[in-house]
Structure 1
Amino acid sequence: MNFFKRLKESVSKTTESVTQKFKSGLEKTSSSLAGAMDSVFSRSKIDEEMYEELEDVLIGADVGVNTTLEIVDRLRGEVKERRIKDPAELQPLMSEILADILKGEGDSSDAAMNLQENELTVVLIVGVNGVGKTTTIGKLAHHYKEQGKKVILAAGDTFRAGAIEQLQVWGDRVGADVIRHQAGSDPAAVIFDGIQAARARGADVLFCDTAGRLQNKVNLMQELKKVHRVIQREIPDAPHDTLLVLDATTGQNALQQAKIFNDATRLTGIVLTKMDGTAKGGIAIAIRRELATPVKWIGLGEKMDDLQPFNGDQYVHALFAEMIEREEAAE
């Protein structure tokens, strides 16, 4: 069966509203990346020039050099093995390769959140300032409140001006208690109090905000390690998830941030925000391949429910939606 058909069958198992969110949220990326691929695969023959043009398209979409070379090498191998002569046949094959990369290898941690049964789940949210970290926490709190979970927020970003107040606004908006200290307080102390409050109030999930930049000479990564130690002292197997929030519009800079945080903390997943604001959505592919860390959430708009659990098939289907519809119409 053509991979486009299998992809559509997979996507059809989710709700139409989710599929539409992916399609509309990734419209810029689809128009840029898939549109450029369409042009490449419209060539008259498969030759070295076509492969070079494809490399340019992928690198230009923030897929990254290493991942691009791997993708093109895999495509070459499939072309040779299947004896493909028509470039048009490469479109579904390309989508299959991308979907395979997004699934990853030997990794079963693709669930949106590692929720604990009948006990407190502690989620540490990290990332530099300006990526949408606090907004992400608010939207995650909304998501789990909608599922009937009791959620508490810990305002551990005590250094950025207005960060505590911003988280409080989100807490009031979604109906979640916020544990806070004064500006400039020790972040680890806030998280400690957050854990005690969450236990006392019978919370299901505690989301911990953290600093994205420090206004003193303490190294940010050392501060995060301190927070991590305090959490583990109280709950040995926590944090159950450490999610890095990245701004998708920053492209390869986001990948560099991911590498730095991954070296300092045990990341369990990535949250890609502002995907609807970039035409270079290939960064999701680069991060998944180069870090072997799953993208768990994706920001597809500004509405409360536009932060969605990441789904590789949905992502690829949204990228190639126009090609899939065109192929169906031709049948």
Structure 2
Amino acid sequence: MVFLIIAIAVVLVALLATAALVVPRRQRRVFDDLPPSHDGLTETEPPRGPTVVTAEPDVIEAPQPAPETAAVPDVPTAPPVETPEPTAGRLTRLRARLARSQNALGRGLLSVLSRENLDDDAWDEVEESLLGADVGVAATTEIVERLRTRTKVLNTRSAGELRALLADELVTALQPDLDRTLRSTPTGDRPAVVMVVGVNGTGKTTTCGKLARVLVADGRTVLLGAADTFRAAAADQLQTWGSRVGAETVRGPEGGDPASVAFDTVKQGTEAKVDTVLIDTAGRLHTKVGLMDELGKVKRVVEKQGPVDETLLVLDATTGQNGLVQARVFTEVVDVTGIVLTKLDGTAKGGIVISVQRELGVPVKLVGLGEGADDLAPFEPEQFVDALLGEPE
């Protein structure tokens, strides 16, 4: 009996010892198999979850320059103010450029007129040349008839005499007695106000910037108004032109009221006592009634502070007779007082000067003869015809 009790006790001790060894192993395997989100974690294992790692930044010491080679920060400097070339005689200085593009017409006319026998066919060629240069039907007919009569009466045959006759007729057709003065002189305490208008694509904003240079070259102080609020680029471009000659630019928010910008420009120009306020308006198609009405509004709002002294219409010389259609609409809306003809350097259609003036009774006051900053010149009929016909032989 005693032996049986001892045997049972030994077996129990062995079973307990075996359990003590097996259970921890099983628990460790269970815990190892648990997913990270499980709560059964050992005391030494950190909780698993979002972790923010903050790394110590590497500290790199920049080499210290020697005192004598220490870098000096760049200080932005304002662009130098340019001095535009005088406008007096500018067309003469640009004569060679004009002659290169125009004298094909002049030489063609002189070649026909110098023929030994000026028959009907010859005069038909003269007429076609003038019409091709956009002189216009009425003006062409008048010029040809007068030339035909004078050459017959005077029995003119030499090239020099024929050139003189043709030049005289062309100058007469250009109406040299028209007043081409650019009204840019202040009246009393109020600056002269010049509005620049035109259709899209005529180079209007560029012409406005060049006109600022013309005024500065003639001794005027100028304030620019960027009333083309539809295009931020137009205001930027105008401001760049103005800064080159020391002229400030008034501008408003993109898409803002152009009449408000124009009004503020005149007001600030009066307060600053400048000589001339130059207002650039948005280009618009003459067929868009709403936009043309808006242009009329701009002028009416400006006139609350006084009259607009000059309204210049910018026309592209290459558009030919279509430019006349545009011009008529603009003159009806804003009472155009002067024409600026651009791109005369690249066309043989210089006769548009004659037809525009004849049809509208509005003088051409300025002509653009190139892309240079000072390639805008006061129009002088005699100088223009001289370049048109080329050098006399």
TM-score range, shorter chain: 0.7 to 0.9
Find the partner of 2:317 among 243, 248, 257. Answer: 248
CA displacement 1:100-119 (0-9 Å, x = unmatched): 121256x4x21133533444
Residue identity opposite 2:198 in structure 1: G
Bigger share in helix: 1
Q: Tell whether 2:115 aligns with 1:43.
A: yes
Compute the displacement of 1:143 (Å). 1.8
1:268-279 correspondence runs (5 A): 268-279=337-348
Find the partner of 1:24 among 97, 105, 111. Answer: 97
Find the partner of 1:133 among 204, 207, 210. Answer: 204
Return the alpha-carbon distance in structure 2 between the equivalents of residues 59 and 117 of structure 1: 43
Find the partner of 1:286 among 341, 345, 355. Answer: 355
Find the partner of 2:168 among 83, 96, 103. Answer: 96
Residue identity opposite 1:315 in structure 2: F
Residue identity opposite 1:279 in structure 2: A
Structure 2 residue matching 1:280: 3-state secondary structure: coil
CA contact under 8 A between 1:157 and 1:211: conserved in structure 2? yes
Compute the displacement of 1:74 (Å). 2.2
CA displacement 1:45-77 (0-9 Å, x = unmatched): 222212111110011111122221121122234
1:329 aligns with none
Compute the displacement of 1:83 (Å). 4.0
Structure 1 residue matching 2:228: 3-state secondary structure: coil
CA contact under 8 A between 1:152 and 1:206: conserved in structure 2? yes
CA contact under 8 A between 1:41 and 1:87: conserved in structure 2? no
2:258 aligns with 187
1:114-129 correspondence runs (5 A): 114-118=184-188, 119-129=190-200
Compute the displacement of 1:121 (Å). 0.3
Q: Tell whether 2:329 aligns with 1:260.
A: yes
Compute the displacement of 1:99 (Å). 0.6
Residue identity opposite 2:194 in structure 1: V
Compute the displacement of 1:262 (Å). 1.7
CA contact under 8 A between 2:317 and 2:341: conserved in structure 1? yes
Q: Tell whether 2:134 aligns with 1:62.
A: yes
Q: Tell whether 2:278 aligns with 1:220.
A: no
Tell me how large the CA RMSD over aligned residues is. 2.1
Return the alpha-carbon distance in structure 2 between the equivalents of residues 207 and 311 of structure 1: 23
Residue identity opposite 2:214 in structure 1: H
Structure 1 residue matching 2:311: 3-state secondary structure: strand
2:270 aligns with 199
Residue identity opposite 1:121 in structure 2: A
Compute the displacement of 1:276 (Å). 0.7
2:148 aligns with 76
Scaled by the length of structure 2, the TM-score of the pair is 0.72
Structure 2 residue matching 1:322: 3-state secondary structure: coil
Return the alpha-carbon distance in structure 1 between the equivalents of residues 186 and 171 of structure 2: 29
Between the two structures, name the one with larger relative contact order (CA 8 Å, sep ≥ 6).
Answer: 1
CA contact under 8 A between 1:243 and 1:269: conserved in structure 2? yes
Compute the displacement of 1:218 (Å). 6.1
Unmatched segments (≥5 aa) in structure 2: 1-86
The 1:252–1:96 alpha-carbon spacing in structure 2 relative to 1, beyond 3 Å, is same
1:111 aligns with 181
Larger Rg: 2
The 1:52–1:265 alpha-carbon spacing in structure 2 relative to 1, beyond 3 Å, is same
Residue identity opposite 1:202 in structure 2: K
CA displacement 1:12-43 (0-9 Å, x = unmatched): xx97764131232342112x210210221132
Unmatched segments (≥5 aa) in structure 1: 1-13, 327-331
Q: Report how many aligned residue pairs link the two structures.
A: 303
Return the alpha-carbon distance in structure 2 between the equivalents of residues 60 and 218 of structure 1: 32
CA contact under 8 A between 1:159 and 1:213: conserved in structure 2? no
Scaled by the length of structure 1, the TM-score of the pair is 0.85
Residue identity opposite 1:163 in structure 2: A
Return the alpha-carbon distance in structure 2 between the equivalents of residues 316 and 262 of structure 1: 26
The 1:142–1:114 alpha-carbon spacing in structure 2 relative to 1, beyond 3 Å, is closer
1:318 aligns with 387
Return the alpha-carbon distance in structure 2 between the equivalents of residues 87 and 253 of structure 1: 37
Residue identity opposite 1:227 in structure 2: V
